């Protein structure tokens, strides 16, 4: 994971937020939906192909039946805003766009050819100390990049990190910002949150 642990300063990206008063476009105008890649409690992820370029992406589809309350809908909008805001950070899964139809909201993002970090850990069984240090540093780099951009992830766990490829030295990228918040908003609301990172402090140093 050396490529993810360079400690480079996060890139400051321009603000880019969707006007929540305007509806999103229908995804089928731009993409064809393919096979299922995975399923979570609130969403299903599909392989999708951009019609104009033939390039493949991952499409996270959330049923509108899951967006019951006003808070659910606001959380969905915030996730989209945060992914747009973090666009351009190499250690975060790149966001392509948001779309919707009568039944679902669709979030199109970079397709990572590797596994979840959780799956890689299960397959390998154990890591050398050096490899574990690299992974933990990569996770801390994600926390640093998010904080630099004014975002708190709030759901850091191995399942929410994807590997860019099957290679052993693949770049580790953070995904799933469904519980994330803008730090400034939480301060204004008087909220206090702690970021959980699954590693021992001795490994980081």
pLDDT in tens, 100-132: 999 999 999 999 999 899 999 999 888 889 999
* CA separation for the pair 133, 112 (Å, rounded): 22
Main-chain dihedrals φ then ψ at residue 83, nearest 5 degrees: -65, -35
Mean pLDDT of all residues in 22-39: 88
Residues identified as active-site: 155
pLDDT of residue 180: 94
Domains assigned to the chain: 27-109 (3.30.200.20), 112-204 (1.10.510.10)
pLDDT of residue 11: 56
pLDDT of residue 23: 58
CB atoms within 10 A of CB 50: 15
The answer to whether 3 and 169 have CB atoms below 8 angstroms apart is yes
pLDDT in tens, 50-65: 999 999 999 999 999 9
Is 188 a residue whose pLDDT tops 80? no
The answer to whether 175 and 93 have CB atoms below 8 angstroms apart is yes
Count of positions (residues) in the chain: 205
Instruction: Please report which confidence band the pLDDT of residue 88 belongs to, taking 50, 70 and 90 as the band edges.
Output: very high
Tokens at 115, concatenated:
């596994």
DSSP state at residue 34: E
pLDDT in tens, 129-148: 999 999 999 999 999 999 99
Separation of CA 178 from chain center: 8
Residue ranges with strand state E in the chain: 31-39, 43-50, 56-63, 95-100, 104-109, 151-152, 161-163, 172-174, 181-182
The pTM of this model reads 0.78
pLDDT of residue 19: 47
Mean pLDDT of all residues in 145-165: 94
Helix then strand then coil, in percent of the chain rounded to 5, is 30, 25, 45
Question: Tokens 């599909």 — which residue?
Answer: 46
pLDDT of residue 127: 86
* CA separation for the pair 33, 27 (Å, rounded): 9
Mean pLDDT of all residues in 171-180: 94
């Amino acid at each position: 994971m050396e490529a993810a642990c360079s400690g480079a300063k996060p890139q400051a990206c321009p603000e880019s937020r969707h006007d929540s008063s305007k509806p999103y476009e229908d995804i089928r105008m731009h993409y064809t939906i393919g096979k299922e890649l995975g399923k979570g409690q609130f969403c299903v992820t599909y392989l999708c192909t951009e019609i104009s370029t033939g390039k493949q992406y991952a499409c996270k589809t959330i049923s509108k039946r899951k967006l019951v309350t006003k808070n659910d809908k606001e959380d969905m909008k915030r996730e989209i805003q945060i992914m747009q805001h973090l666009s351009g950070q190499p250690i975060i899964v790149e966001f392509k766009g948001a779309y919707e139809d009568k039944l679902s909201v669709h979030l199109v993002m970079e397709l990572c050819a590797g596994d979840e970090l959780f799956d890689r850990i299960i397959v390998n069984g154990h890591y050398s100390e050096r490899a574990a240090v690299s992974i933990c540093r990569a996770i801390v780099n994600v926390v640093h990049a998010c904080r630099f951009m004014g975002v708190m992830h709030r759901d850091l766990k191995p399942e929410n990190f994807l590997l860019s490829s099957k290679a052993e030295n693949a770049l580790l990228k953070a995904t799933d910002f469904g519980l994330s918040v803008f730090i400034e908003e939480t301060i204004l609301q008087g909220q206090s949150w702690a970021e959980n990172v699954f590693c021992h402090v001795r490994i980081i140093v």
